[in-house]
Amino acid sequence: MELQLHNTLSGEREVFVPLDPNRQTVSFYSCGPTVYDYAHIGNFRSFLNADVLRRTLELLGFEVVHVMNITDVGHMTDDSMADGGGEDKMQLAARRLAEAKEAGTLLEGIDIDPSDPMAIANFYAAAFLEDARMLGLKVVSEQDAHPERIPRPTAYVDHMIKMVESLIDRGHAYVASDGVVYFDVSSWSDYGELSGNRVADLRSGEGGRVDMATQSVKRNPADFMLWKPDGSHLMRWPSPWGEGYPGWHLECSVMARALLGEVIDLHSGGEDNIFPHHECEIAQSRGTTGCDRFARYWFHTRHLMVEGAKMSKSGGNFFTIRDLLQRGASPAAIRLELIRTHYRLNSNFTLQGLRDAQRQIERWDRVRTWLQDHAESLRDESIAPLSSALPMFTAALCEDLNIAGAIGVLNTAIGELSIEEPPPEGKGPGTWADELAALLAMDSVLGVLDLEVCASSRGGLDESKIASLIAARHAARDAGDWGRADELRDQLLDMGIAIKDGAGGTEWERVVQ
């Protein structure tokens, strides 16, 4: 089957054909997190959609060489401007942590020297990698075998300096009177090819993307920073233009070229990366290499809403992965809730959706367990809903990653599979192992059944108190005190514990609060 994928560069859906179709190898670069704080679920939606794309390519038989950076320098707080405005995010983290330390409000488990930016970066990078492994990001799970596929910009500053020198030599960059090195957008006629922004529009400062404080030293208001001399900056390196730091856009151009080549197949990120970040990447990369492309296909995930509103700490709907785990969500449910809306649609993340995702995964997991238990048993040749569904599942994904359609195909097949104990006697030659293989092939893209699929994660729970409340409820029921029994059930629910009475006694599980 052919993968049809929307390409931001052309604005159209295109058949994906790798740069080297004979080798069936795909080079893929993803913009990763800036490690100045814990990554939130909006960040992870973009990362997980890139992971689904990678897994889909692998299902289709491609080998994917996937690189995702971890930004530890140069990313400014106001990144809507091509220059980057405000404060370096690593410097912001240092100030925030210093203030919290002085006030005695540092969160438990955070023991970082605020004056050491690399310690800050290392702490939050480790936290991100832990969260990413928990959610099944393959590029992170490969890290032990391929550490170079999770690069850090601070290890590539020399490469960045060489790229800036090359851009100056080629007439695409200049040193301004304030000592800052800028990319000259007037030297690049294709500037705006990804975002559709015209230099003429940027001259007027539309969208707040032009920093008026620097306009007197620039050749063009839309020119963007490549290197800034700043001897007082928290993170700085020597360069031909003075001790300072690189522009944020440089890092991905440099690392993609160093690790994947001058022209790559795929580049992904959130839709907020389209301009200025990815637009500037293209200009820098092509300006350095002279190639007619930097990335051949651009893949962008749209924004995430939470409970119908923009995610914000002040609005009480801002979640990290750790927040959701603390509320009782399983990693598998978090992953499914973040990927099951099409990547080109704004997604509305809800706690009820998380609970629904949990129930769906538990249903799939029960089927997997049954198929594993009876894999060698013969089945009737006519009973093969999962095997029949796999081509339709794949076809849905080939329609620009129609993940909802693919999940619908899987659920229909699951509904046609009657799980019985013992299984019906088959006539062969097929076994239930064929159905198991089909289910696992579909999950190789969804990526949930190898994660922790149980919502009843008991970490941090007082199990003795839970047992005591359940026993008290039993005593109240035995005494006919149904009001008291209901109060105890509600008390357990307030703790995030749902109970279920059955012939074997009362079972409990942790639920998302």
Residues 44-64 have pLDDT tens digits of 999 999 999 999 999 999 999
d(CA 246, CA 255): 13
Instruction: Place 204 in a pLDDT band, splitting at 50, 70 and 90.
Output: very low
Say whether pLDDT at 453 is over 60: yes
Pairing of strands 295-301, 244-246: unpaired
In the sheet that holds 295-301, the strands lie side by side as 63-68, 25-30, 264-270, 295-301
Which pTM value belongs to this model?
0.87
Helix (H, G, I), strand (E, B) or coil at 390: helix
Tell me which of 383 and 13 has the higher pLDDT: 13
Beta pairing, strands 295-301 & 264-270: parallel
What lies within 8 Å, CB to CB, of 86 at 6+ separation is 76, 77, 78
Tell whether the model's pLDDT for residue 205 goes beyond 50: no
Q: What is the pLDDT of residue 215?
A: 65
418 pLDDT higher than 90: no
Distance (Å) of CA 134 to CA 97, 100, 297, 509? 26, 28, 28, 20
Spatial CB neighbours of 344, under 8 Å, sequence gap ≥ 6: 6, 300, 301, 302, 400
Tokens of 510: 């942790």
User: What value does the mean pLDDT take over residues 141-162?
Assistant: 95
Confidence bin at 431 (pLDDT 50/70/90)? confident
Give the three-state DSSP class for 392. Answer: helix
When pLDDT is averaged across residues 374-389 and rounded to a whole number, the result is 89
Mean pLDDT score, 121-131: 93
Is the distance from CB of 74 to CB of 269 less than 8 angstroms?
no
Of 417, 361, 420, 412, the C-alpha closest to 389 is 412
Strands (E), 236-389: 244-246, 264-270, 295-301, 304-306, 309-310, 347-349
Cα angle vertex 486, ends 480, 489, to 5°? 125
Tell me which of 207 and 238 has the higher pLDDT.
238
The pLDDT value given to residue 198: 84
DSSP annotation string for 425-473: PP-SS-BHHHHHHHHHHHHHHH--TTS---S---TT--HHHHHHHHHHH
CB of 247 within 8 A of CB of 225? yes
3-state secondary structure labels for all residues of 185-202: HHHCCCCCCCCCCCHHHH
In the block, tokens 């300072």 appear at 244
- Per residue in 230-267, pLDDT (tens digit) is 888 788 999 999 999 998 899 999 999 999 999 999 99
Q: Residue 290 CB: number of other CB atoms within 10 A?
A: 8
pLDDT at position 77, please?
A: 65
Question: What pLDDT does 456 receive?
Answer: 45
pLDDT digits (tens, 9 = 90+) for 77-98: 666 667 766 777 878 888 888 8
Q: What is the DSSP string of 236-258?
A: -B--TT-SEEE-HHHHHHHHHHH
User: Distance between CA atoms of 34 and 141, rounded to whole angstroms?
Assistant: 19
Residues with Cβ within 8 Å of residue 413, at least 6 apart in sequence: 385, 386, 388, 389
